[in-house]
Amino acid sequence: MTIKPRILVARAIFPDALAKLEESFEVQSNQADQVFTADELRQHLEGVSGALVTGSERIDQNALANAKNLTIAANISVGYNNFDVPAMTSAGVMATNTPDVLTDTTADFGFALMMATARRMTESEHWIRNGHWDKWSIVHNPLGMDLHHTTLGIIGMGRIGQGIAKRGLGFGMNVIYHNRKRLSDADEKACGANYVDKETLLRESDHVVLVVPYSAESHHLIGAKEIALMKPTATLVNIARGGIVDDAALAEALKAKRIFAAGLDVFEGEPKVHPELLKLSNVVLAPHIASATEKTRRAMINLAVRNLRAALAGERPPSLINAELWKK
């Protein structure tokens, strides 16, 4: 009788996807979708050969302390700030993520969130629900900001940032961007985007969208100082990671109307949201759902499973992060 490798599925996934895994593996699953504490995660990783995890599972030296059999931790996410990659490499654990499969869905949502923010869509819905709409008015109904023929500033010009830029072209927007590394001439042309420094982008943009990965260097990339550079008519959208924006400074700026509005899909310490943001009408809030369509979430799970299966079969995973481990 063949012994199946043991794996951990750390968060709930679609039942049919779980059933397919159970054909090949002894699966320790978490369909109750409990968010493990650090100690619980360490215990669950003990004795398993592979793990499907999400951004809520921090894979670090503590988590790996007793994970002597662990070959791979496969993130069901494109971002991997929940991974201590050096610690994983030192422990001989492959780290993978799910790039590409969520690019268009996330870019769609980023653009939709920017539109909702600029045009005050959620504020207008609440306005109706609270019984304030008693007549149509030229000046007294909620007035928003245009997108067409305005300047779109994108900070972080990876696949998703480029996708947002291309959508902006359809609205006749002037697209500028800032990135750690400038794009090639061909990619800039495809996006219709011009490279500028961060300060210029903040001063000139009518709409700023953040799509940068989280790291110690990008923590509070946008704080009070940066918001002060923006136009009072500008909007700020964050679909990247919580912690890139200083949420307390943003709440203060929105309250004082130093910028027009903000759209946030991610938050510092999520799922907790800064209480001052919850009091404001000029912010659109979403619960980290930029990739949340069934088609895309299934594609993310499928790629994570492909990574896991490859690693446990002694093959190189399709989206290996710590490639130096494979070379060894």
Looking at the chain, how many residues does it have? Answer: 328
User: In the structure, how many helices (H) and strands (E) does the chain have?
Assistant: 13, 12
**103-285 belongs to CATH 3.40.190.10:** no
**6-99+294-327 belongs to CATH 3.50.50.60:** no
Whether 178 is a known active-site residue: answer no
The torsion defined by the Cα of 211, 250, 171 and 175, in degrees rounded to 10, comes to -60
Given the residues 120, 241, 297, 309, the one annotated as active site: 241
Whether 241 is a known active-site residue: answer yes
- In sequence order, the 6+-apart residues with CB closer than 8 A to the CB of 139 are none
First-to-final CA distance of the chain: 32
Given the residues 40, 204, 252, 270, the one annotated as active site: 270
Q: How far is CA 81 from CA 32, 103, 136, in A?
A: 24, 18, 48
Whether 125 is a known active-site residue: answer no
For the chain, list residues with pLDDT below 50: none
Q: How far is CA 145 from CA 18, 129, 259, 261, in A?
A: 45, 22, 12, 10
pLDDT tens track for 133-168: 999 888 888 899 999 999 999 999 999 999 999 999
In 3D space, the residue among 53, 61, 17 whose CA is nearest the CA of residue 35 turns out to be 53
In 3D space, the residue among 7, 102, 52, 148 whose CA is nearest the CA of residue 292 turns out to be 102
Given the residues 219, 220, 288, 306, the one annotated as active site: 288
What is residue 237's three-state secondary structure? strand
pLDDT of residue 139: 86
pTM for the predicted model, two decimal places: 0.93
Strand residues in the chain grouped as ranges (E): 6-9, 26-29, 50-53, 72-75, 94-96, 151-155, 174-178, 193-195, 207-210, 235-238, 261-264, 283-285
Do 6-99+294-327 and 103-285 share a fold?
A: yes
In 3D space, the residue among 296, 78, 106, 282 whose CA is nearest the CA of residue 210 turns out to be 106
What does the domain layout of the chain look like in residue ranges? Answer: 6-99+294-327, 103-285
